Structure 1
């Protein structure tokens, strides 16, 4: 077990005393304490759930001080040794003596955990107090700090109702749960957005669901804002009906020097006048009872932050059209922040008679969320809107082209073949759930869908103005919000290229950036045991939204990456990739990747057309197709893909950044597509594809509030034969530049150079690096089952990897 903590704020003893006194863990005067009294006092403060002396005595007697004495008996002595302190320390964190650590030598603990370093074997009262401060900020086996665990057991219960408790209350630079979650206020307002996206002659009203601490009635609080188009429901059936057939052939595109025409996107023509409110109020008239499952937001409700959710234009109880990622959706997202910061009007009901301000907000906002939610956080940040202090974008899209297309091809987000911008617009058009509203706008909405369908130009896969308008990386110059990016290195839905390009595009800008890369797919990571992610966000948001001088920017690493080979292991870097001048080049020889250049030309061939029954089977069994593609021994696809492998590695190989592939290839027809997969081969135990649930309802987000599970990536119980590292796809007609379409001459060789999805992957000694070259990707590309034969001239093929310098030895 590794309880990695990256949000620990270094403190002096004087600071520790002040903070302990602030949370009432330490009295004002402790100068006359003995060491045994200090330990006894702090121990008794650590069982807030007890109300009788006998109950407390029983709990203390359950703690071993030595192999023969419990802590109650031990404290009859007049000294406290470091060994005894560590024994108690580890037990309070949930470790089991003589199982996780020996009582005779507790620092031989088998887990990686934070603990204080003592210079003396016999501890002074000051050392015990300082050690207890470390205990309070250290993670337990349940994945939260010991102070958070005490909070769950009622430590702040009395302070929560006391008028003298400072709010917010900070400890080690992080906000504590002293806000009453049993009295949260839930209310609804309707923000008037400066747009008329459905062209009905009125500015669009946007429904906003607000959850805020009751204490915000007395003092303003900051806001965590999640823009979620899914918030008001989805049209799953209609989306499925609109999903495109991917069993269609690749077609020849007309040559174009530039697929962009640079048409501007108008958003303000003939904007209707703003509504006039009859009067103003501070009292809402609508509430809601939805329970949101984003536990990170819920965690902060107990710590002095309000949370709001808005689904945006075209959703239930709001107005406008869904537009899927364009400027209209950005305006809709930003309008909510403008209201929170006093720059825009909201009303208590859709009739827009009474205006209401966000009088309870301190005008500091952060945006949170994963996938589409994190994408809209990026969109909002590109406007430079004042009041938006930071965004935490998880698995976010930075260019919608990179979500639905790749190098001139229609390439589906992993797991959703046939989805496209129009499908997503329909799925999130929850205005449809209001029958009265929908019947009056149905025809106009279908016209809007047709326009999206035409604009996305699915027939070509080209990068057009439609996609340029949805590329946030080309709109970064106004960004003022600091940014934390979180992404899975195995996220084949929102592929890692989105965060990689966003990270590098931000580097020249005067904003702070942090990057966290994990080994998961399209998931949240705030419940991992091996990472104090929630603490990190607490440190960051306390700094950004409460202006707390807690050195968060210096404490949190610039780049934090989860290891793929060793469970519960995270490493810090200053950039991604860390080294850009250590290049390892592999040449192609038949079935082999080697560092030796080929002495003569060698041609290898594969065909893309499968027997009709096998083709049909694979379209319905995508996992089997993937197995047969990647398994070296699998027979069904042997003639339809080429696999090249290194010999077993003699030493570890760390691959970073974007692998570069060079292919010299010819197609038997005047069109073609190329797909490539970089693979880790070898029969070894690897991390599981999804995190394992270690314990259900392992901890609480506050006092008697909301339970959450504890999860972690562990090694699979059985070995696996391979692991996907990276992949890429390319249309032969877009071989020179994304915005250029060129002809393909049958049987003519072309030299292709392009980069695969970025990675950070460590192959251990004994593993083999493999590269698969093929055409149709049943999971992502269109599937035409065309009779196209591809020839590969191995002398013109290379794989270039950015590697750790040690890998070159």
Structure 2
């Protein structure tokens, strides 16, 4: 086990003492040992009497011969070794498993625990050591001070609210007294065309102290899933993927012909206001919360949720990534920052403001939630100070399409924009409301199905409207981006393109890349993600001068070959390229001649197996020998003479022919070599083991671990339609058996390849997990003289 902390703020001694006094944890003592025991007495908030404290001391080992109670009675002087022997136990590390008393300082360093330079002979040394210990993470992923807070440390005190320690908001708010209220924000939209502006249901949780004059910032999550989903309706709409790839009529289409140009639409007048109030008339029992928001609720932030247009309790229809959905998102931000109206309910016309808000907003959430945060940021909306976008889409075309091909998000073949709109149109849950909306929504769904164009897979105006990248220049909010390098749902290209587009935008930006799939990382002990975000939001929303902009790494990446290991990087993408040329079975640094033909069509039984067992196809396509021989090209480099790190986007250039006048290319880059690899799905370490506050909600503790020995792992992949060799919006001609040159930019990565491993390249047609599956009689031929792959090496 090793912890990695990036939000531990260096602090001078005077400030340490001031902050320790703020939490009622400092009384000046005569000796260093007395000072230590004075601090230790605060470490057991459950204990009410002195005798109980001694009993707790008996449970802790101070040296190989003495427990802490006996050590106290012995009148010995505290040493650095004894301090950190006790400290590791307080941090929940286990003797004999995580550390040994005989090697305590070395073990402390291995665990990633911050240690002071002093010998602890002076009170000042002990003050520094204890201050940093309070900010050090436990084995389960909380800072020690957060652990104490969860056990009632602040319940016996009366701290300032909000309270900041080491630049981070502390869990001093009583979550049992949270105010829960509903308002209806009036958006400048009429997506259901009923002649009235769309009202958006918004659920708010805020500290009770706001009634006493405290003004708090908001963490806002826009989630179309928040009011329920329609999985059965979505399943009925799923598109058939066992259909043939078809030839497209060539054209000379330019981007300007399909570019989305917003058209200003007339919207109904604002509603009549019949009065104002500061008290909501609706409440709710339990929101569909996001754990990071729960974490901040205990620390003096309001949590705000809205599902947006076309969801239960709101007006409008679902439009899946359109401009209207972005406007619905920004309308809530405008209300929170005092620039838009809301009402207590849908009929009375009683206006209510966000009077409790300090008018500063952060957006949070993963996937669709993070996507809407990105969309809102590209408008430059006032009041949005920062977003924390996790696994967010930056271009919906890259989610459901790729280079002229219909491409499913990993694990969801047949899904498309219209399916997602159907699944999230939660107005369907209220039968009376749905009766009034069904005909209109069904009509709009048919229009969406046509406009999304599953026939050609080309980039068109529908998709250009849902591409946020051209508007990145408008961003004013600072951004933290989190993404999995093994996320084949929202693929790594989304965050890479956003990161690249932000380079010339004058905002703060941070990037965290993990080795997982489509997951959250806030409950992983190996990294202080919650602390980092606490530091970030305390800085951005409360204005705390904690230097979070400088303290947090610009790029933080998890290593793929070592557990619990994270690394700071300066840039994503290397200018240094290593080029390998394709050959019969080997990728070589010298050009090779020859050709290789592979057949896309499979025997009916094999095809049927793969359509129902994509995992088997994924394994077979990478096997050096097996049932996919002759149905794909596979070549490997010689064993690597040293470790190689790939950092960026591999580029595959092929000279290829199809036996018919259409076709597609899929490709995977593969790490071949027997080794234990980090799992892409974190293991559950402890159910409900991570408390988010005192008598508040908990999260499961999870962590990436090294799995069983395996022979290979896919590093990255890519796809292209051979008739979209130049642009995704332009269809090129293709003749049967005509060799054409095509360039495929694979999904970006950061990946360590061990010495002795081989880099493999797999090229094929049908991708059973992502493309259409026509099982057509198509043969593809590679010409090695015009085929190469360039790898960005670090």
The TM-score bracket by the shorter chain reads over 0.9
1:304 pairs with one of 297, 300, 303: 300
Partner of 1:217: 211
Q: Deviation at 1:384?
A: 0.5
SS of the residue aligned with 1:14? helix
SS of the residue aligned with 2:726? coil
Q: Deviation at 1:796?
A: 1.1
1:185 pairs with one of 179, 183, 189: 179
Q: Deviation at 1:573?
A: 1.0
Partner of 1:807: none
Partner of 2:7: 7
Partner of 1:757: 747
Q: Write the deviation string for residues 4-56 of structure 1: whole angstroms up to 9, x where unpaired.
A: 001100111111111111111113xx1x5212211111111111110122211
Q: Write the deviation string for residues 206-251 of structure 1: whole angstroms up to 9, x where unpaired.
A: 0001111111222110000000000111111111111100111111
Partner of 2:525: 529
Partner of 1:457: 453
Distance 2:585 2:93 in 1: 50
Q: Write the deviation string for residues 284-343 of structure 1: whole angstroms up to 9, x where unpaired.
A: 111111243421110000000000110000111111111111111111110001111111
1:706 pairs with one of 689, 692, 697: 697
Partner of 2:163: 169
Partner of 1:768: 758
Partner of 2:54: 57
Partner of 1:156: 154
Change (3 A) 1:521 1:263: closer
SS of the residue aligned with 1:637? coil
Partner of 2:610: 618
Distance 1:105 1:263 in 2: 65
Residues 1:799 and 2:794 aligned together: no
Partner of 2:720: 730
Q: Deviation at 1:117?
A: 2.4
Partner of 1:112: 111
Q: Deviation at 1:350?
A: 1.0
| Greater mean alpha carbon deviation, residues 664-673 or residues 620-629 | 620-629
Alpha-carbon contact 1:259-1:463 (below 8 Å) kept: no
Distance 1:259 1:421 in 2: 24
Partner of 1:362: 358
Distance 1:102 1:525 in 2: 30
Partner of 2:276: 280
Distance 2:76 2:756 in 1: 57
Q: Flag structure 1 segments of 5+ consecutive residues without an equivalent.
A: 805-809
Distance 2:229 2:579 in 1: 48
Partner of 2:434: 438
1:638 pairs with one of 629, 634, 641: 629
Distance 1:424 1:102 in 2: 54
Partner of 1:38: 35
Q: Write the deviation string for residues 366-391 of structure 1: whole angstroms up to 9, x where unpaired.
A: 00000000000011001101110000
With the length of structure 1 as denominator, give the TM-score of the two structures.
0.96
Alpha-carbon contact 2:484-2:519 (below 8 Å) kept: yes
Q: Deviation at 1:264?
A: 4.8
1:590 pairs with one of 578, 584, 597: 584
Post-superposition, which runs of at least 4 consecutive aligned residues in structure 1 deviate over 6 A? none
| Greater mean alpha carbon deviation, residues 224-233 or residues 33-42 | 33-42
SS of the residue aligned with 2:474? coil
Q: Deviation at 1:699?
A: 2.5
| Greater mean alpha carbon deviation, residues 261-270 or residues 529-538 | 261-270
Q: Deviation at 1:90?
A: 1.6
1:519 pairs with one of 515, 520, 525: 515
Change (3 A) 1:69 1:267: same
Partner of 1:201: 195
Alpha-carbon contact 2:408-2:770 (below 8 Å) kept: yes
Distance 2:264 2:279 in 1: 32
Residues 1:655 and 2:646 aligned together: yes
Alpha-carbon contact 1:257-1:739 (below 8 Å) kept: no
Alpha-carbon contact 1:267-1:328 (below 8 Å) kept: no
Q: Deviation at 1:115?
A: 2.6
Q: Deviation at 1:114?
A: 2.0
Distance 2:264 2:502 in 1: 28
Alpha-carbon contact 1:259-1:464 (below 8 Å) kept: no
Which runs of structure 2 are paired with 1:572-583 in the superposition (5 Å)? 572-577=568-573, 579-580=574-575, 582-583=576-577
Alpha-carbon contact 1:191-1:339 (below 8 Å) kept: yes
Which runs of structure 2 are paired with 1:84-483 in the superposition (5 Å)? 84-109=82-107, 111-120=110-119, 123-159=121-157, 162=158, 165-218=159-212, 219-258=214-253, 260=255, 261-262=257-258, 264=260, 266=262, 268-483=264-479
Distance 1:360 1:775 in 2: 57
Partner of 2:619: 627
Q: Write the deviation string for residues 347-375 of structure 1: whole angstroms up to 9, x where unpaired.
A: 11111421100001100000000000000
Alpha-carbon contact 1:87-1:106 (below 8 Å) kept: yes
Q: Write the deviation string for residues 735-757 of structure 1: whole angstroms up to 9, x where unpaired.
A: 12223211101111111112100
Change (3 A) 1:237 1:364: same
Distance 1:432 1:78 in 2: 72
Distance 1:14 1:436 in 2: 64
Q: Deviation at 1:79?
A: 2.4
Q: Deviation at 1:105?
A: 3.3
SS of the residue aligned with 2:635? strand
SS of the residue aligned with 2:34? helix
Alpha-carbon contact 1:101-1:107 (below 8 Å) kept: no
Partner of 1:692: 683
Distance 2:607 2:99 in 1: 57
Distance 2:123 2:525 in 1: 32
SS of the residue aligned with 1:593? coil
Change (3 A) 1:270 1:737: closer
Distance 1:196 1:775 in 2: 44
Partner of 2:80: 82
Partner of 2:66: 69
Partner of 2:656: 665
